[in-house]
Amino acid sequence: MSIKYIETPIGIVELKSNQNNLAGLSVVNQKGIDIDIEPVLLEAEKQIHEYFAGTRKKFELDLYLSGTEFQLKVFQAVLKIPYGMSASYSDISNAIGNPKSMRAVGMANHKNPLPIIIPCHRVIGKNGSLTGYVFGVDVKKYVLDLEKSFDSVSS
């Protein structure tokens, strides 16, 4: 496993790769030591900086996703939410053919190994409320506002 630390507007991000695929993204308290940096981590760093600068709306990285069959379905549905847009937990439940699974969709989002890349921040409450987010609701609001501001500039 390779590890790289980068500074972003939401804090220090730890990137992990597994055999040339991006496997993990998390916000950490302090920078650690980069380990055996694979090219995918350098590309992920570049694309994440572009995303926060508003010049990238879609990530193009090889991903290593782990999880249950249900979680993987949720991740695939979340990947389809367009930049600057949002979907409710109910929308995702319906998209995966399991309309009563809103809570389970929320739990799957919490287990998302690649927040930002798999944009679970775009999943909100049916009434528009910003419900939980692995990096906190303040970060969720920041990222959603960031996308909306860049999306309106380029539209």
Q: Select from 44, 52, 7 the least CA-distant residue to 27.
A: 7
CB atoms within 10 A of CB 6: 18
8 A C-beta contact, residue 133 and residue 102: no
Note the maximum CA span of the chain. 45
CA dist 147 and 153 (Å) reads 10
CA dist 145 and 155 (Å) reads 15
CA dist 50 and 123 (Å) reads 22
CA dist 147 and 14 (Å) reads 22
The residue type found at 17 is S
Of these residues, 78, 108, 120, 139, which one is catalytic? 120
120 in active site: yes
Residues acting as catalytic residues: 120
